[in-house]
A and B are shown apart, each in its own frame.
Chain A
Amino acid sequence: MGKPTRVTNCIRALRFNAGEMTQADLADRLGVTRQTVIAIEQSRYSPSLEMAFQIAKVFDVPLDDVFQYPKEK
């Protein structure tokens, strides 16, 4: 499967550090489907700015610690 977005993220690591939170737990806290969490983690879907902030809030970290964008060469 391709990666249609250049936005990368550390959600998997953040979940692991947050007591091995499952994708289903994160989905429940965000009010989205587990498949959406999977799609975001695999960079197959870029969430809205609002959901991005919600994800950062769940892990209590700044947005930059969750999502990254490659610098232009």
Chain B
Amino acid sequence: MPFEEKMTWVNLVVTIAVPIWFFATMIGRLQTTPAADIAFQRPLIIAIVASVVLMVVGAILMSIGTSVTAVAKGRKPEDDIDRKDERDKTISRQGDLVGYYVASVGAVGVLVLTMLEVEYVWIAGALYLSFVAAMIVGSIVKLVAYHRGF
């Protein structure tokens, strides 16, 4: 598996796991608190920071694992980690492009919510969901391209 594909898997797992925690927290608070009074800022910041930290940690662990595997096979670790070729770049661009369209559709939804003057928690949640959906869809497009070709 190319290193870039491994990183796509790491990003996908983090991008699914962290929002599950965030939205579960928000749904839990909505059960007991009116939407207007919900403090969503702290969980949202934690979710964003956690995503970045987990992706960096995942990248480090994946690099170590790939290096160990490369050495075991008698290869140079940098050959497996640093080698990002034209196929990786094309797949990355394809995934990012599809993700951009998803984020754009989500942004339109957020605009509608803003025009309707709904509570901030819904707007923030929708915007976060747009980014999450964009990353998930983009990652899936990349993984499909790696396996089925394009």
Nearest residue, chain B, Cβ from A24: B75
Stretch of B52-60, B83-91, B96-104, B119-127 that contacts chain A: B83-91
Interface residues on A, range: 20 to 34
CB pair B2 A1 closer than 8 Å: no
- B94: shortest Cβ distance to chain A, in Å? 12
CB pair A31 B148 closer than 8 Å: no
Stretch of A8-16, A32-40, A64-72 that contacts chain B: A32-40
- A29: shortest Cβ distance to chain B, in Å? 12
Residues of A within 8 Å of B75, CB to CB, are: 24
Interface residues on B, range: 10 to 19
State the majority secondary structure of interface residues on A: loop
Residues of A within 8 Å of B87, CB to CB, are: 32-33, 35-36, 39, 45, 47
- A38: shortest Cβ distance to chain B, in Å? 10
CB pair A1 B149 closer than 8 Å: yes
Interface residues of A (CB under 8 A from B): 1-5, 24, 28, 30-33, 35-36, 39, 42-45, 47-48, 51
Interface residues of B (CB under 8 A from A): 1-3, 5, 75, 79-80, 83, 85-88, 146-150
